[in-house]
Amino acid sequence: MKLGLIGYPIAHSLSPWIHNQLLDRHEMTGAYQLYECETDRFANKVEEIKAENINGFNVTVPYKEQVLPYLDELDEAARFLGAVNTVKVVNGRLIGYNTDGIGYVASLVDRYADAVDRSKRVLILGSGGAARGIFHAIVKQGVGKIDLANRTIEKAQKLIDDFAAHSVSEALSLQEAEDNLAQYDLIIQTTSVGMAPNQEQTPISLSGITKDTIVSDIVYRPMKTDFLKEAEEKGARLHYGHGMLLHQAIYAFQIWTGKSTDASVMMEAFEHKLKGV
């Protein structure tokens, strides 16, 4: 299997570690390589990767949207999201997928089996690419109420409007969300706030949450953000961001190879790796 990742910068990516582990676990030969490239070389790089007869590759920042014109086909999630994180090469044809949203839901359900059933009321903080993927995947789970809060409220409204069928969703300011936290069962933090090196910041205060709320943060560096620390002090149930990273990779690997993997068998080693970098 010839696999890889295209993006910039990617030198510190954990994807090679995850995919090389997956190759080993499934006793497959091959390698997962980094194809780091700056914007002006992106088109050449895609051609280069294709010419190498690669089986599949991941796409990350800043190319998840930019890769679309090079693809021959898109799956439903990638089409809706307008963004691709996984490409499978079949007889020279490039097929685009997006496993971020389903990876997120899988990591959440792994930890809390009841997290996204129909009765749940969900709040997503942020309205960027990550929020979009998660919103899409949670709508697919049949969750009844999903509100979006964002610094730029118009972007939250735009995302809701793109899901015309999901009319019960509301767009909120971060302040409005903070003032009404008790009504949510699950709060998902998708903004870049709290990410190293600005790890002392949080997007909203959690003083209004109730005890059984699940608080989820997709930031994984640091693993326990200040947002999650505050949630823990309030007695909330915590969900960490690194699980999404592992699960989106497992889905990508499955798309390329047909092999499925139980994430729990890799989680301990992955956490160890994450702490060491």
Residue choice 192, 234, 254, 273 for contact with ligand ATR (CB under 6 A) = 192
Q: Which of residues 122-151 bind ligand ATR (CB under 6 A)?
A: 126-131, 150-151
Please list every residue from 244 through 273 that binds ligand ATR, using CB under 6 A.
Answer: none
Residue selected from 101, 103, 203, 222 as contacting ligand ATR according to rule CB under 6 A: 203
- Which residues, 150 to 169, sit near ligand ATR by CB under 6 A? 150-152, 155
Tell me: is residue 85 an annotated ligand-binding position: yes
Q: Would the annotation count 150 as a binding residue?
A: yes
Tell whether 76 is in a known binding site: yes
Least distance between ligand ATR and beta carbon 49 (Å): 23
Distance in angstroms between the alpha carbons of the first and the last residue of the chain: 26
Query: Can 64 be counted among the known catalytic residues?
Result: yes
- Does 191 interact with ligand ATR (rule: CB under 6 A)? yes
- Cβ proximity to ligand ATR: between 13 and 190 the closer is 190
- Angle 250-188-226 from CA coordinates, rounded to 5°: 100
Q: Which are the catalytic amino acids?
A: 64
Per the annotation, where are the binding residues for shikimate? Answer: 13-15, 60, 85, 100, 220, 248
Query: Which residues contact ligand ATR by CB under 6 A?
Result: 126-131, 150-152, 155, 190-193, 203
